[in-house]
Structure 1
């Protein structure tokens, strides 16, 4: 018969193996770099969200970049004129590298207009090759300045397949 110490050790080993078996190795780490233009009044106090797509139309959605993974430290004022802001967080891995994005401002705050130069995204994970994509935006996200939109969409996917199916696929919100 097993001693209580052996039973306890067996229990912890079984618990450890089941935790490893249940852990989700599908998680990827996403790093996002966003450059705000140095144009006068180019910064914003609005909430900025980002949707990242792969070639197959699968996507992840980050509803609030600053809350999700702002790395600039306490008291930093994100999305201000000339800033390079860095964000990082975990999310489900996409099947293919990121090749399209939807960058959106909610238009809130006293300074809702925002000029974005670019968005650069890196995705990596266990058993997932590292991928990187830079999206040139060079656009106002504002309702009082051309193009009078709060969204910038960039699609660098090699075929129209991803663009046609973007809204039909399931999503994951982070």
Structure 2
């Protein structure tokens, strides 16, 4: 595995540190008036979810881990575990449902997502950036309300609350950005 300097760590990098796999969540480069510069890195453990704040000087060497990414199909959820299937080998993998966090409601039956592996261990899952959802309820259109940046509240068929432009009606399909959890466009 390649070793990188402490000042080369970027958010999203997966590092091997203290006999664990950590993902860099937030990186601040600090140059104090006295002493050498360092990177203040907030990391999250990929296996148990614990957090750690660590300082890395530019001379410190850290192992950067490359995770293998596979497209997998979501099958079902049971007992707080999500089951995914490799569409080529038909192998099944289970991951805890809380790995998706607040984006969990956007996961739909049969959806293809990216699962990240370290050797044969599944560590992380990411949803597609855009998902099609149906508006379950929203306020009716008010004539003459054409302000450029006016949005109205809406509830999606998966229970998530977002804001949508005034021209979007109930029972309409829209595209939602799963990273920002915002309205993107009509489907």
Q: Please state which band the TM-score falls in when normalised by the shorter chain.
A: under 0.3
| Larger fraction in helix | 1
TM-score, normalization: structure 2?
A: 0.23
Taking structure 1 as the reference length, the TM-score comes to 0.24
Structure with the higher strand share, 1 or 2: 2
> Greater relative contact order: 1 or 2 (C-alpha under 8 angstroms, separation 6 or more)?
1
